[in-house]
């Protein structure tokens, strides 16, 4: 009886894995099919092109690729110190009590807020604040731009990175922590030399999840990035991401070549997301504690 249940469970797991793979394959095939028109029309120039002009049917992906990469990495760089600090605070220094409950509840609430709400908050609070900074720096006071979008994304991905990191840190064997403390190490030394090395692969998995969230975010970024179809000159410049240009122009694309170009951007966004996840999975396995 137990062998039959075990076999049934394995079959269900295999069916789930195959279904997930087929779903990814179908998504790729659909995007590729709908992108063929623009692929045949522009070829490799679509990736390297810096001009996006639907009126004259000139389409280039490069400005949006740069905007996506800049906002994703800047937001990740900003959020990492806060995410790891919050995870260590809740899993090492304040495992229980009032502070733990308040911060844990707040983090969960931040994760559940719709992205459009973050976008409204960015428009009415963050944009005027950035504009004042730009005035003091004597640069064009757009308010919207790469930095504003990155700050919004940083706030949005902090709950994801901190929650996973917190759970991973809690899985560190208590014997290792007590052994480090018994040798005369301070709590920080135990964190630095025992906890972080032990769960580095799990923390990286949380970082990867946060990066993926920032990489594909659409609504909040669209509202505060400035929607400029040019390669950004600096972090204060208005720009566009691959996701935001699709959101802005998809309903207005009346020409087949324009629609196909937007779908091809979606195809490349899908491919890049898969590549990032594959690289992340390799790194997680490579540095996993055995």
**CA separation for the pair 87, 202 (Å, rounded):** 12
Query: Which helix (H) or strand (E) element contains residue 186?
Result: none
pTM value is 0.87
pLDDT at site 249: 87
pLDDT at site 202: 82
pLDDT at site 130: 93
Tens-digit pLDDT profile for residues 192-244: 888 888 888 888 888 888 888 888 888 899 999 988 888 888 899 999 999 99
Please give the domain boundaries of the chain with CATH numbers for all domains.
Answer: 2-286 (1.10.3720.10)
pLDDT at site 73: 93
Gyration radius (Cα) of the chain, Å: 23
**CA separation for the pair 196, 209 (Å, rounded):** 18
Query: Which helix (H) or strand (E) element contains residue 78?
Result: helix 62-88
pLDDT at site 284: 67
Residue labelled with tokens 């990867």: 208
pLDDT at site 2: 52
**CA separation for the pair 56, 255 (Å, rounded):** 11
Query: What is the number of other CB atoms lying within 10 angstroms of the CB of residue 246?
Result: 19
Q: Angle between the 256-286 and 62-88 helix axes, to the nearest 10 degrees?
A: 40
User: 113 phi and psi, to 5 degrees?
Assistant: -70, 130
Q: Which two tokens stand for residue 85?
A: 């600090």
CA distances to 7, 64, 235, 257, 280 from 277, in Å:
30, 20, 26, 30, 5
pLDDT at site 286: 65
pLDDT at site 6: 64
Q: What is the DSSP letter of 290?
A: -
CA dihedral 65, 267, 224, 154 (to 10 degrees): -80
Angle at 34 between CA 33 and CA 38, to 5 degrees: 105
Q: What is the DSSP letter of 113?
A: S
**Helical H segments across 137-286, by residue range:** 146-170, 174-182, 187-190, 196-198, 200-216, 219-224, 242-249, 256-286
pLDDT at site 191: 83
Query: What is the number of other CB atoms lying within 10 angstroms of the CB of residue 64?
Result: 23
Tens-digit pLDDT profile for residues 264-288: 999 999 988 888 878 777 776 665 5
Query: What is the number of other CB atoms lying within 10 angstroms of the CB of residue 15?
Result: 10
Q: Which residues of the chain have pLDDT under 70?
A: 1-6, 9-10, 13, 16-17, 284-290
């Amino acid at each position: 009886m137990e062998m039959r249940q075990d076999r049934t469970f394995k079959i269900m797991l295999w069916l789930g894995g195959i279904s997930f793979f087929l779903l990814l394959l179908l998504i790729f095939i659909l995007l590729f099919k709908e992108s063929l028109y623009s692929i045949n029309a522009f070829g490799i120039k679509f990736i390297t092109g810096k001009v996006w002009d639907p009126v004259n049917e000139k389409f280039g992906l490069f400005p949006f690729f740069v905007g996506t990469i800049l906002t994703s990495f800047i937001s990740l760089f900003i959020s990492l110190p806060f995410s790891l600090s919050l995870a260590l605070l809740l899993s090492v220094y304040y495992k229980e009590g009032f502070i733990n409950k308040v911060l844990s509840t707040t983090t969960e609430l931040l994760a559940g807020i719709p992205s459009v709400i973050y976008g409204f908050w960015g428009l009415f609070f963050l944009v005027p604040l950035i504009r004042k900074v730009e005035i003091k720096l004597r640069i064009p006071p757009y308010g919207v731009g790469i930095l504003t979008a990155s700050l919004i994304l940083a706030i949005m991905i902090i709950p994801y990175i901190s929650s996973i990191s917190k759970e991973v840190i809690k899985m560190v064997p208590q014997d290792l922590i007590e052994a480090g403390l018994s040798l005369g190490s301070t709590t920080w030394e135990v964190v630095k030399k025992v906890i972080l090395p032990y769960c580095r692969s799990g923390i990286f998995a949380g970082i990867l999840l946060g990066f993926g969230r920032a990489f594909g975010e659409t609504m909040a970024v669209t509202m505060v990035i400035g929607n400029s179809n040019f390669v950004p000159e600096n972090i204060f410049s208005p720009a566009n991401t691959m996701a935001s240009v699709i959101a802005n122009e998809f309903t207005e694309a009346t020409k087949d070549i324009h629609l196909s170009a937007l779908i091809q951007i979606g195809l490349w966004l899908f491919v890049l997301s898969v590549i990032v996840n594959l690289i992340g999975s390799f790194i997680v396995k490579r540095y996993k504690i055995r």
